[in-house]
Structure 1
Amino acid sequence: MAHPPTMPAALRAVAREHPERPAVVDGETSLSFAELHEAVRAAARGYLALGLRPGDRVCVWAPNSWRWVVAGLAATYAGGVLVPVNTRYRGEEVADVVARSRARVCVVADGFLGRSQVAELRAALPGLDEQAAVVVVGDGEAPPSTTAYDDLAGLGAQVTDADLDARVAGVGPDDVADILFTSGTTGRSKGVLTAHRQTLLAAERWTSTCRVTAEDRYLVISPFFHSYGYKVGIVSSLLTGCALHPVAAFDTERVLAMIERERLTICPGAPTIFHSLLESPSFPTTDTSSLRLANMGSASIPPRLIERMLDELSFELVVPAYGMTECVVATMCRPGDPDEVIGTTNGRVVDGVEMRVVDPQSGAALGPGEVGEIQLRGEMVMLGYLDDPEATAEAVEPDGWLHTGDLGTVDADGNMRITDRLKDMYICGGFNVYPAEVEAVLARLDGVVEAAVVGVPDERMGEVGAAYVVARAGHDLTPDDVEAFLRERLANFKVPRHVELVDELPRNASLKVLKAELRARTTTKDDRWT
């Protein structure tokens, strides 16, 4: 289907088509699409009153809520550029994003997680108040020299509808809509520039493949500061008219209760979300029969988890997919795909995207079944990195091919399977080891909830594996059990030399496992190696 050309146009269209349908349901607050549109217009007028000019950046540093939806959509409605900020960042990290993006407005949830975000940000960026207007979301009184979120509408009363509509009319499909900063787990974060047409196209490809309709009730666990929560979440709602049910912080019991109470139908998320739901003590007595669609965008998904989601969580459809901030929707499985495809691949490229597999060393194109770096090209590949032409040139070839940094294969039917991250692969005794393969085998060991495998230095072998395993409550699992299970199923060089049982895996706010942190835990000097 043809999608609206800009974010403001998408909001206007859905408000006309589904004015009375619920747009956002957040606790006691429920906004219809007509009410959402009016709230966004009021906030946008407030931004204009604060001095926002066309192309100015608006940082939103807040957890998932109906206010985030309004504040984020108002940024593009007012002709600005949305810059979502990770809620777990400290003041210095946020100051770096605010300074580099030259934000004119900063929307801050002061008091979230018991912190004073405004104080942190001001301490880290002494010139904040000269650079940007600070809008504060919170229940308490707004700090001095800031604007309370609830006062935005009153502040914007001086801006006429004609002035706001003129600003909206000036927004074009090729204008930058958003700048999403990468997680920075492998170095300084980079700001990914995306145009309105690209953000909307990603959501259109996702919703059409997943057959999302206005009847769906969409549980959004992924944070809005991430492309998964914003573009596959908020923007998808604008294109389909489905209702969003945002979660500020993932809590297994609360989410299960929401699924049953609200009869939720869609639940995308990282694999750990579904692991947690399945392992909850409340799960056996919770009615999850309303669930229709699960989508996972993780680079590697244990096939056993997909089996359990279909069999135990009652999903009618599980759609593995693959994407990244630089190309949000690249490949997806399709409804009707065989179980083998859904259980072992990330699907085929969506319309508008090309894919190839390349030898990381020589750059030569590889054939079906050969392992190499996955590269992408097409209309959804980012415009580039913010103020970083060197990094952009390293990531995107002159002819448009994007280096994903992921290793994988493509079969004769075009189905892609991620083998691992290029940086996560390690070489043990001259043989390539892909941690995702080992993790997939571990997922089938009775008593294992999830596991992460990393390569660590070894004087004799170069590198060897270290496995960190989360065991199911009540299972008397030992490292020896894990090693014996793997030795029966994997070549010797793939079996980790170190196995440790842990209560949980370290994660960032997007729920990605922090493998660098796991590598730092393990050294060959540890006496457990001998």
Structure 2
Amino acid sequence: MAASPLLQNLTGTARTAYELGSGTARAAVALTRSGVVRPLGPARLYGMGRAFVRYGHSLAAAFSVGAARHPYRLAVVDDDSVLTYAELAERTDRLALALLDSGAGPGAPVGVLCRNHRAPVEVMVAAGKVGADVVLLNTGLSADQLAGVQSQQQLHTVVTDPDFLDVVPAGPRAVLTAGPDRPRPAGDRVLDELGAMIERGGPGELPFKPERSKLIVLTSGTTGTPKGAKRPHPSSLAPAASILSAIPLQAGEAVHIAAPLFHTWGNAALQLASLHGATIVLRRKFTPEGFLDAVQQRRCGTVFAVPVMLQRVLESGADGWGGPHEPRIVAVSGSALPADQATRFMDRFGECLYNLYGSTEVSWVSIADPADLRDAPGTAGRAPVGTTLLILGDDDEPVPAGTDGRVFVANGLPFEGYTGGQEGLEERYGLLGTGDVGHLDDQGRLFLTGRADDMIVSGGENVHPGPVEDLIAGLDGVREACVLGVEDDDYGQRLAAYVVTEPGATLTADGIRELVKRDLAKFTVPRDVHFLDELPRNQTGKVLRTELPGQE
């Protein structure tokens, strides 16, 4: 992307952030350092090259490269079994033929409604081998929301874990990830079983160069029908190199993906892990004990999680990893990482924590490494190689360091818009808006204030809930907190705080108000303080605000 006149004239922090995006040499170094690029023999190089020619830079290519490069290495370990790269390649070839035989190919999207185990991995790889688009379905969606997704996406097939069958909409062909050996009727639909499809395969041969499939990830809307964000596979390894420039993954080491595979972060973890020929360790359900056990059993060098999982591990009382092995990297994304939580986690589990800030639409924006999280708790990090990050004011001009504005970003991962139209997308100078407000410090580190649409006007004052929420969440005796705006007859709007305290804490509503008044402006003091047993959250840890008292 050529720099616009505005970008050519940037100075100071904004210029530094932009120059970070031009490091082609740094990208090559990152790929070599992680072991993705290294000398290999002719036979393996041929198999790897053939995979890239067939499938481009996709999940199907990554696992096919793995089968050529290290066929007997474990590819996936889940609650039930283990699969080598060679076994996964053979199974997904057969599944791809079965999908074609059933009519699922180019123009016939396949939905995946699964927890974390080998089935969603196999379906995504097989779909890529026949050019079928894949729609990742959030396991927390209601039947009505999934019906809306079906109307929008026109799914041909939904591959689902059996316990989600009741919410699968009528219309698409349903395939269970476990169940009977042969199809059985269920009302007016015929159910198939994934294992049976893999066993029988299908007639004919797979296309040598299928149409390039797209991955459609649903936005994390908590009401109504979530929108689908279309992502074609990248045309190069530059997006992966951008992440690797800040998070030092290593080829061949085991990776535990605790983050949901249906979410942008969990899926990005899968793509990065497969590119590195990792052994991918999956668990259907998260528990602190299972999380720690997975790390020890498989000696995982990297863990991908969401912040609420780390919170649960801290609350479990675990005083470390529970064994001799300690991962080098614990990378989190998907929701805000509270500053206090980051510090407490590293105090107990070591200097291994990385925080990636992004969204379904833009993927990544910035990455904070352990040093950033120690030196500047609460930071969202810096723009990595290949990423342009700007903070724009109301006049759409870059603002100085320390000044809040709207966050805009561009990187190497393509985004083709929403499947249901482009409403809600904001673009300036070829950069996409994240919908968040924040500022850069004089070292180029990003700090988020909150969502642009969360700002309220109370008695004529503009108020962002973010700083108030951070202050309350960091108080002694507070486990977690959420602050947002509510309607007010006198002031137009006011802040309300929802607080979960630690057992035995003696905090009161008046006490919290006094602490906020002491450290922040008077007009930021929440008039409503609600004490809850827990905050309602979705699978990635985002607070379900419509389920809070007074927000229905």
TM-score (norm 2): 0.82
User: Structure 1 pair 337/426, CA: closer, same or farther in 2 (3 Å)?
Assistant: same
Equivalence for 1:528 = none
Matched AA of 1:410: L
1:69 maps to which of 110, 121, 137: 121
Q: Provide the secondary structure at the position in 1 that maps to 2:453.
A: coil
- How far the C-alpha of 1:86 sits from its partner, in A, is 0.9
In 1, are the aligned partners of 2:179 and 2:193 still within 8 Å (CA)? no
Give the aligned partner of residue 45 of structure 2. Answer: none
Task: Single out whichever of 409-418 and 192-201 deviates more from structure 2.
Answer: 192-201
Q: Is the 8 A contact 2:343 2:373 kept in 1?
A: no
Report the Cα distance in structure 2 between the residues aligned to 1:289 and 1:431, rounded to whole angstroms.
Answer: 52
201-210 or 490-499: which moved more?
Answer: 201-210
Q: 1:229 offset after TM fit, Å?
A: 0.9
**Higher deviation after alignment, 183-192 or 217-226:** 183-192
**Amino acid of the structure 2 residue aligned with 1:177:** K
1:134 aligns to what? 174
Moved over 6 A (4+): none
Residue among 337, 355, 360 paired with 1:320? 355
Percent pairwise identity: 29
Alignment-derived partner of residue 155 in structure 1? 200
Instruction: Report the AA paired with residue 410 of structure 2.
Output: R
What is the match of residue 258 of structure 1? Answer: 294
Alignment of 1:321-470 (within 5 A): 321-334=356-369, 337=372, 339-341=374-376, 343-359=377-393, 361-388=394-421, 390-391=422-423, 394-397=424-427, 399-470=429-500
Any conservation in 2 of the 1:300–1:418 contact (CA below 8 Å)? no
Map 1:175-194; keep pairs closer than 5 Å.
175-185=212-222, 188-194=225-231
Q: Does the residue aligned with 2:403 lie in a helix, a strand or coil?
A: coil
1:36 corresponds to 2:71: no
Other structure's SS at 1:210 match:
coil
**Which residue in 2 is equivalent to 1:97?**
149
CA contact (8 A) 1:217 1:242 kept: yes
- Choose from 256, 259, 279 the match for 1:243: 279
CA contact (8 A) 2:321 2:349 kept: no
Between the aligned partners of 2:528 and 2:319, the Cα distance in structure 1 is 33
Aligned amino acid, residue 203 of structure 2? Q
Structure 1: distance between partners of 2:224 and 2:95? 35
Q: Is the 8 A contact 1:353 1:380 kept in 2?
A: no
Hey, what's the Cα distance between the residues in 1 that align with 2:539 and 2:235? 25
Which deviates further from its counterpart, 185-194 or 195-204? 195-204
- How far apart are 1:15 and its partner, in Å? 2.1
Check the 8 A contact 2:319/2:348 in 1, yes or no.
no
- 1:357 and 1:372 in contact (8 A); partners too: yes
CA contact (8 A) 1:181 1:191 kept: yes
User: Does structure 2 retain, via aligned residues, the 8 Å contact 1:326–1:381?
Assistant: no
Residues 456 and 485, structure 2, Cα contact 8 Å, conserved in 1: yes
Which of 487, 495, 501 is the matching residue for 2:517? 487
- Give the match's secondary structure for 1:164: coil
| 3-state SS in 2 of match to 1:419 | strand
Q: Give the number of aligned pairs.
A: 495
1:383 partner amino acid: E
Please say if 1:14 is aligned against 2:56. Answer: no
Partner residue of 1:50? Answer: 102
Cα distance change, pair 368–510 in 1 and its aligned pair in 2 (3 A): same
Distance 1:482 1:337, change over 3 A: closer
Contact in 1 for aligned 2:67/2:89 (Cα 8 Å): yes
Cα distance in 1 between the residues matched to 2:184 and 2:78: 25
Per the alignment, residue 212 of structure 1 pairs with: 249
Within a 5 Å distance, the mapping from 1:265-284 to structure 2 comes to 265-283=301-319
Shift of 1:277: 0.6
1:493 aligned counterpart, secondary structure: helix
> Counterpart amino acid of 2:384?
V
In structure 2, the gaps of 5 or more residues are: 1-27, 37-51
Counterpart amino acid of residue 59 in structure 1 = G
2: CA distance, partners of 1:335 / 1:503:
31
Code of the aligned partner of 2:546 = A
Matches within 5 A, 1:300-319: 300-314=336-350, 316-319=351-354
Deviations 1:335-381 (A, max 9, x none): 7558324x23212223333222223x443432222111101234325
Contact 2:335–2:540, Cα closer than 8 Å, also in 1? no
C-alpha distance in structure 1 between counterparts of 2:222 and 2:237, whole Å? 27
- In structure 2, the CA distance between the partners of 1:74 and 1:199, relative to structure 1 (3 Å rule), is farther
Shift of 1:464: 1.8
- Give the 3 Å change call, closer, same or farther, for CA 408–96 of structure 1 in structure 2: same
**Residue 527 of structure 1: aligned partner:** none
TM-score by length of 1: 0.86
* Deviations 1:385-440, CA, capped at 9 Å, x for gaps: 1141x42xx51437522121101112333222111111222233333332221222
Question: Over aligned residues, Cα RMSD in angstroms?
Answer: 2.7
How far the C-alpha of 1:204 sits from its partner, in A, is 4.2
Q: Relative contact order (alpha carbons < 8 A, sep ≥ 6): 1 or 2 greater?
A: 2
